[in-house]
Structure 1
Amino acid sequence: MTRSARTALWAAAASAAAVLTLNPLVVSSGWLVGAFGIVFAVVGAGLLVRGLFHRPGLAVAVQGLVVLLVVVLLFNGGTAPLGVVPTPATVDRLVQLATDGVQVVQRYSVPAVDLRGLRLLLVAGAGLVAFAVDLFAVTLRQPALAGLPLLGVLAVPLALAPGGSGAVAFVLAGVPYLVLLAGDRGTPARHPRSGRSGRSVTGVTASATAAVALVAAVAVPAAVPGLDERPLTIDTGPGDTIAVINPILNLKASLGARSDATIVTYATDEPDPAPLRIVTADVFDGQTWAPSTGADIPRRQRVQDGLSPAPGLSDAVRDQSVVRSTQISIRGLDQTYLPLPYPALRVDIAGNWLYETDSLNVVGDGETTRGRQYTVTHLEVQPTEEELRAAPPAPGDVQERYTELPQLPAVVADTAQQVTAGATNAYERAALLQRYFRSSGGFTYSTTAPNDGGSDAVATFLSEKSGFCVQFASAMAVMARSLQIPARVAIGFLPGRETQTGQDGALSRWRISAQDAHAWPELFFEGVGWVRFEPTPATRTGQSPGYSVPQVATEPPVQGQTGATPPPAASSAPSASASTSTATATGPAAAAAPTGWDRFLGLPWGWILGALLLLVAVLTPWVSTALLTRRRWAGVTGAASSAEAAWAELDDRVHDLGVSWPPSTTPRQRAVGLSEFAGAGSPAADQLARLRAAVESARFGPGSGAGGGVLVAQRTDRQVGRLVRADVDAVVEAVGAQRSRWVRWRARLFPTAGVRRALDWWDRD
């Protein structure tokens, strides 16, 4: 394998590892298959063309073509003949997908849902990174410049993802780049005494510096206290706090914030304001709630022209609702979604703000909320208990879309069934779920996340019975969906604190801080539309909506006796004893108990990786040299090979003591130089003479060195081997006696022979 091929493979590893660091930005990991595929397709094409034609320019052209062909193959949507022949329809589709991907990037915080548009950007970007790294490292033979595209990729998760990309991914991305730097020849360096051509000063210095930086980057953050994640608020100065509410809820992320600085103020004629809603999340993958992304919002759907009627809201309920007006002023909130009361009828605001018809989310078309002042005309919908009880089934498309769930632990659906046993309609089930979380279930509000943030997060929350609003809202929405009640999660702000009471027709005034960020479930009832429930305990949210508490409450099952409330006579549900048995076997505590894998993931990996890297850095010189020595002596088959092995061993060991010579010098010339350290007439000088005579006899025949033929003739192979190794030790000890103590200890603890041999192999063409 040539140096060029080895460099190409390490470049591929560096590109793939850099792409892997983007994984925290996306909800799922399916896009990595295409990303890794295009990386290795680009590198493989370069290896093939360079190997067959030895034309770097042709390889670059083919690699660029491969990027295009792979993108067409993966995203043509049936518009390309043979899957790889682009047509005008293919170009239109790719442009549309790229536009959709850009909109996902602009609208959503991380982690984003990897819809096909975003997936196209990720895969194509991975191909371009691999192309650029291969171009710099292999074609142009400038590995240091390959760090530019790699750095561009690494900077994205560091800037956007809470916690960055993680220590493991960072190390995996850094090590291949260090190998590329180590192979950089640059300007050949020469030995100061001998003039022998050596390795690149630039490459060796850069790789050594980068290796130290890599270890420090992993170990230092783990050792320094106080580097916690605060993704919600960014203090930019006195009185100027910028809040960013993530519209994508990871079940291990909190909306809680420490800052009490005012970020929104509003004045309203509504006597008891409802929360201000920013966005709704309706896609759940088991770990994360995210807003769905569909077709572009038509530009005609401007909020200034009025919003379409709220989905599911009947004319009868609409007519009995009160029209309200709220004046909102944004002081420190900077994002593309507009906070609004729900449902809004019209928004008087400057700029291009568009609404989605199915959610009434309002999105800025190149606009952000910072510094905005606007007036919202909206409805105060107060459904009655009778309207909610009598709500007919939801339309088929709503039912299908908003009850979809991924595979979850059985305990989630089982708990929902147990909590709502005895309920006769969707409203009673929803009310029982809310009561279960707020009072009867033994849950407490806490700013500490449950241990599990993965696919068992809801089950873990049901077991630990402690969490913040994200857990409460998500758990109720998921359990409602398991009961076939359409549900989604809303993200926004609690009403905040009233600063001026409205009297004599005046508007009441309120302030909202980042601490008021909140999430709650919305359940769909035909005729009323999307209805807010409040499962988070009153210690956080105050009183729940009046309509969500039945006047004649359906009694929930007694705690500790799940399934005790008898189902209707015609029901085929299991008996109370069977239910209790099932709960014992599959209840929340059993299903959500931490697994060995959970404990493994919870280990302090920053410390562990830092210690491992330090250990590897310390042991690599010694281990590599020991392996080299073992291999060298294992290949000895006679007196001649023993002499060669001993001479090479002597060369390596005195090199660590600072004594070296050009490769062209003869054994006799080297022996003369070493005799200055051994001392004339000393035992070490005699042993050095025997070593020199032995290697001359091995190379030039018996008798060519004084005493060499006698050594070979009068000793067995094993005796010669022991003798020459003892001679090497004696000469090295004599040379070391003339060096400083620091040099002697460095030679013992950090022998460099193995590392130098590995670097020489790397440089071999």
Structure 2
Amino acid sequence: MALTELRRPASPAGRTVPTGRTAPTEPARSRGPLPIREYAWRRMLLLAVTMLLALAGFHVVLSEVSWWIVGALFILLVLVTTTLVRQFSRPAWLPTVAGAAVGLVGLTVGYAADTALLGIIPSPETLARFGRLTSEAWGEIAVQTIPASPEVSIVFLIASSCVVLALVGDLTLRIAPALTALPILTLLVVPVAVHPDIADALWYVLAGVGYLALLRIGRRRTSAPSVIVLGAVIVLGSFLVPSVLPSVEQSADQTASGGVATGVNPLINLGDDLRRGAPVTAVTYTTSTDQGMYLRLATLDDFDGRSWSPTLIAPTTRNSIARFPEPAGLTSAVARKRVSASVEVGGIQGRWLPVPYPASKVSGADGNWFWEPEGLSVRSADSNVGGQKYTVDFLAVKPDLAQLRAANTSADVSKSYLSLPAELPQIIRDTAQQVAGSAGTNYDKALALQDYFRSSLFTYSTTAPVAQGYDGTGADVVAEFLQKKAGYCVHFASAMAIMARALGIPSRVAVGFQPGQPSLQDGTTVFTVSTHDLHAWPELYFAGIGWLRFEPTPGRGELPDYSDPAAVDQQPTDSGTAAATSEPSASPVPSSAAGRDLPTDQAGSTSTGAARGGVDPVPIVLLSLLGILLAGALTPAAARTVVRWRRERAIADGRDPAANAWAEVRDTARDHGWLAPDTETAREFAARLSMVLAEDGDRIAGFRGRVESSAYGRPDAAPLRLHELRAIRRAIAGSVAPRERLRAVFLPASLLARVRFDPDA
């Protein structure tokens, strides 16, 4: 990047001094030589280091390190720019404008170059892209478990936040260095706000030390007590401020071998859980009617076009599971029957309690549990579902045919249940109209959709969506699913729910378990639910009846009784049963997170250093830039080394050695130019590797076998050894030219894929 030398005339243009007369003294506004701002570069570099230390604390909520590299690049880019411009210009506003412009150009080049003029000048479409990425980032944060995967949208949010915080840091550094606590504290607060128990105190201490050192630059010794007080305030404040904020849920760790962890949104990993090899018992239960039941984990009512997610409230003791409210929309005219069930949870982990809908009471569950207003799902902020034993009372709702066909209005339900993205693919609307648009009632439309998906046109498959690249629940995925006509419960449930909304029927998606397999034990019917019974299904709203389950997935689950109009018309109704059902309870008051105000900037005066003749700042600038460039060049190699060291330490300690070894081999292959997609198994990759490295075939086969036995074999199987892993790494490195090996060291593709803003990384 070339620097343009700025030159100033010795005297104002157009002015001459008459012969024999003394030139008049310049007025106060005359431009003299640019002052050299004392300590500017030292303060900037120390501020940058302190902000990077604070940003490193995010590692407890985000996996990998690519997000830190991106954030570091943008922080350095902005701070170096503002400091350079301030050294060579007079206007106080120019450094901030230049830093903001450079940051904006960097974001444009990285995330929206295809929408910009000449690839660097932002356009309205560029800003719209930024808005979509920000919205997607918050959606990813809402549905991902901790540590979250640094998707492109999340990395963009970090990058743009770092640009803003770096600008704030530069301004506060010029006004009063003590105010740099604002951007530093903002970074430190985030992990603690997510969950105080997972924050890594090391980075808080290091950031505090950096802040204290920043305040010491140019200070007299007498100011030491105030500096220490301010440093203590920033470190302690980063822990205390989040205590008044609502916490973000962290999913329980997956501790049961072969079990599942439900996370904040159980829909996210449902496909992976269904594709597991051997099923694990998740739940066993008995009921007072000896009939099976669907067990709900979470209700997903918010559809943003990309995914379905639950609407969560803050934990509250008001929503006690000892007493549930009446289910939404259910009136006394609809027949219902009280049923009780005894439930025992097995090999699953998480914060959601499996309960039928609509539950009226849960007793015997250990821990702090509460019901969510949307869907009456049961959740906890600090208790684990694994090993729970409890009794649940619920209602079996039995509407008659007249009630079902009369329920066409949805005025008593939130319009959010009809919300669809503006860019909904046309194939979804057209298919909904073709299949069910001519039906006379919402009930008949729902049956038409259900019958359509359960027809011979569709095939149940957990592998086809992954192999053909349309796995998920978004609108684009559903459009592809309607063409390919192969998928599993996630696709069928999402498709029917979206198409129901397109027809004007309020809908949502529920995630939980199918009824399971019955068996007779000591004269009692016991239902056993495995991890292969994980399921998703749509629920549609009918005025006067409430939410009703439908089953569009072919070959899975059980059709509800009201799926056959003839059978519904013949079933007896008992108005007496409809009376005196669940006890009424007060409606919950929705909770909202109160906003918080950051401290306001106070005006502070700061004096620039006196101009010093004969001091040339250029060598200092060049050396600083050289140091930054060198650090930037070595950062990817250092970060990749840290990742490798952590994996090898985990293998040596026996912590998930198979997963860590396989991840390291896959990343090593990527670093050296090999294709190593996440969907490829260790056996498939080893087969490809052996074809190229024939002389190492036995070693590769042995390593693959060790990984598989470590992952799936007996607990006393021979452990995976580090020397085996390192031998495979050397074999891969030896298969490429020296130039490629150097590139693998200093520009590791596995680490830098997201830095290059590759959404497929």
Give the TM-score normalised by structure 2. Answer: 0.45
Return the index of the structure with the highest Cα Rg: 1
Give the TM-score normalised by structure 1. Answer: 0.45
